[in-house]
Amino acid sequence: MSATQTYHISVMLKESIEYLNIIPNGIYVDATFGGGGHARAILNQLSDKGRLFAFDQDKDAQKNVFQDKRFTLIPHNFSYITQWLHYYGIEQVNGILADLGVSLHQFSAPERGFSYRYNAPLDMRMNQNQNITASDVVNNYSQQQLEKMFYEYADLKNAKKIAYHILQYRFDKKIETTFDLVNALQPVLPKTNDYPILSKIFQAIRIEVNKEIDNLKSFLNQTYTLLAPGGRLVILTYHSLEDKIVKHFMVHGHTDKELQPDPIYGKIVYPFRLLTKKAVLPTPEEISKNPQSRSAKLRCVEKI
């Protein structure tokens, strides 16, 4: 297994590249560089005149950079996509790809604090330069803030009870490590098979720490203007909240608004042509080789 594969196994790699429908001389964006698997596959389709820009705010991911005159890695969050493409003199691109999954490396590196399997500082920052950590969230948020976070970001019906027990625990001891948090959650965990609820709780905290929903919406709302006519947007999501936002955007062209009929002609002018009426799912073979892919959904649109 290569260094890139040990960092992260690219999900639905073949399907992603096929849906991008790459023009050899085109300009493309890999908005979530990670281990570089998707980026390398895009470059393999480009001619010497093609260009690829990639984004990743994670310092560990930035170590996976490779030398290619057609390739530029931008070490920032993809919510700054327009700003940085304009910096490089790029007004429009032929395709944008974003794989919203957390990398295998981030889950497997104990010191990053993404996983409840290891006892480590409760961190969860994608950008290690930011100040707010997961420990800050669970120790400083009010019960109402925690309850809202668990309900909105993980659809946990017992969000109020989870928030209550975190507050009860932190009265006596600061929640500094992943195991501290797991201990605080014991009253709400089932005796066996606690994996599903722990995964959702950690997911909600990670989303909050990294402002993932705000950044995703900001990114999506910039893509329509950045795409050239006929340009394609390919997004891989991993949980229902992300997927709902992406589906709404691909229909309406905005994450928080809906299309309205033209006031004169009464017709709705759609911004995109849907190329995936239903989400594309990983094959059973891919799931068996890479279990992390099991919740992935791929959606693609083409700018009209």
- Tell which residue, 167, 136, 139, 162, has the closest CA to residue 149: 162
Indicate if 238 and 282 belong to the same structural domain: yes
Q: Report the share of the chain in percent with pLDDT over 70.
A: 96
Domain enclosing residue 148, as ranges = 128-209
Indicate if 203 and 230 belong to the same structural domain: no
In a domain? residue 29: yes
Indicate if 161 and 192 belong to the same structural domain: yes
Indicate if 96 and 216 belong to the same structural domain: yes
Q: How many domains does the chain have?
A: 2
153-182 pLDDT per residue, tens: 999 999 999 999 999 999 999 999 999 999
* Residue 104 pLDDT: 73
Indicate if 295 and 241 belong to the same structural domain: yes
Indicate if 18 and 99 belong to the same structural domain: yes
H-state helical runs in the chain: 3-7, 13-20, 37-43, 59-62, 81-87, 104-108, 134-140, 143-154, 159-172, 178-185, 195-209, 212-226, 240-252, 284-289
Amino acid residing at 289: K
Full strand arrangement of the beta sheet holding 297-303: 71-74, 51-55, 27-30, 93-99, 227-237, 297-303, 272-274
Indicate if 100 and 245 belong to the same structural domain: yes
> End of a domain among 209, 225, 246?
209
Phi first, then psi: what are they for 111, rounded to 5°?
Answer: -65, -15
Indicate if 72 and 156 belong to the same structural domain: no
* Residue 2 pLDDT: 45
In a domain? residue 110: no
Do residues 68 and 36 make contact, with C-beta atoms less than 8 angstroms apart? no
Computed over every residue of the chain, the mean pLDDT equals 94
* Residue 242 pLDDT: 97
In a domain? residue 258: yes
How far the first Cα of the chain sits from its last, in Å, is 40
Parallel/antiparallel/unpaired status of strands 71-74 and 272-274: unpaired
* Residue 263 pLDDT: 80
Interatomic CA distance for residues 182 and 194, integer angstroms: 10
Indicate if 225 and 84 belong to the same structural domain: yes
In a domain? residue 122: no
In a domain? residue 44: yes
Indicate if 204 and 224 belong to the same structural domain: no
Average pLDDT over residues 182-200: 92
CATH at 243: 3.40.50.150
Indicate if 13 and 53 belong to the same structural domain: yes
Token reading at 40? 């390398």
pLDDT grade, residue 1 (50/70/90)? very low
CATH at 137: 1.10.150.170
Average pLDDT over residues 189-210: 93
pLDDT grade, residue 7 (50/70/90)? low
